[in-house]
Structure 1
Amino acid sequence: MRVRCVGAIVIDGAGRLLLVRRGRPPGEGLWSLPGGRVEPGEPDTVALRRELLEETGLVITAGPLAGTVERPGPGGVVYEIHDYFATAAGGTPVAGDDAADVGWFALDELAGLPLTSGLADALTTWRVLPAP
């Protein structure tokens, strides 16, 4: 079974990336881009705004698609994650829904964080992070 998901790459005016620490499996305890499942019939941009508000308390404006990744889940599920660039339009980051924590991180701090599998590689491919 395939599950369509969305994620947001939100960078603030100081060049910091918004991340959430997952509070539930898969990825419990790991930092990732905020986002989640797309509901049946829901456009990606609507799902992205909903998920960001639920997980971070931020209102965002969705931008262009950065890229798509696939991640295996339990029971043979495959998460098809469509990550979009986005801009914070209002609110203060507060962890909610299944996020245990939320924060802004300088790009050079990411190497020291426990990130979800493949996140750093995807961000490098999409030129959010510099190539090593």
Structure 2
Amino acid sequence: MIRCVGAVIHDPRGRLLLVKRAHEPEKGKWSLPGGRVEQSESDHSAVRREVREETGLSVTVGPLIGRVFRPGPKGTFEILDYSCWSSGTDLSPGDDAADAVWADSATFATLERQNALTTGLADALRHWDCLPRNE
């Protein structure tokens, strides 16, 4: 089991922060910012680090929203997704993110129709009631 974290971040307009994966698995697909928890790192520290590396944003980490399991090349990824807040909205993609965007509901729906989201993302967000809200 490979422990990972993700961040569910909405801006004041209800848009959801998505990053485009720069590496496998699912390179080129849109997902939540996040990644592996390093040895002796807490989940909250990992979320803050990953969000900063992938988007340039500083966040406050809130409660656990949900957990998903995804197969990986060297084991199963256990991904714990946390609610987060950021005072900023200016994005600066980096590290494992090829791009970053604040997606409104129409943009998210288009990405879903185009099969441009990582496996299970839309279903998980729908189940957790965390889809982008209309502006």
> Common fold, TM-score beyond 0.5?
yes
Residues 5-54 of structure 1 deviation map (CA, whole Å, 9 limit, x = unaligned): 00000000011000000011001000000000001111100000000000
List alignment gaps of at least 5 residues for structure 1. none
1:129 alignment counterpart:
131
Equivalent residues of 1:7, 1:36 under 8 A apart: yes
- What pairs up with 1:1-132 in 2 under 5 angstroms? 2-75=1-74, 77-90=75-88, 92-113=90-111, 114-129=116-131
Point out the more displaced range, 20-29 or 103-112.
103-112
Deviation at 1:98, TM superposition (A): 1.0
Aligned residues: 128
CA contact (8 A) 1:57 1:91 kept: no
The offset of 1:72, in angstroms, is 0.4
* Structure 1 Cα separation of the partners of residues 129 and 106 of structure 2: 14
CA contact (8 A) 1:8 1:48 kept: yes
| SS of match in other structure, 1:39 | coil
CA contact (8 A) 2:16 2:131 kept: no
The Cα of 1:111 is off from its aligned counterpart by 1.9
Higher strand share: 1
TM-score, reference length from structure 1? 0.92
Q: TM-score, normalised by structure 2?
A: 0.91
CA distance in 2, matches of 1:118, 1:108: 18
Contact 2:63 2:83 (8 Å CA) reproduced: yes
| Equivalent AA in structure 1 for residue 125 of structure 2 | L
Work out the CA distance in 1 between the residues paired with 2:28 and 2:85.
25
Deviation (angstroms), 1:108: 3.2
Local SS of the residue matching 1:112? helix
CA distance in 2, matches of 1:45, 1:105: 24
The separation in 2 between residues aligned to 1:106 and 1:89, in whole angstroms, is 18
In structure 2, the gaps of 5 or more residues are: none
> Percent of aligned pairs with the same residue?
55
- Aligned residues of 1:69 and 1:80 also touching (Cα < 8 A): yes
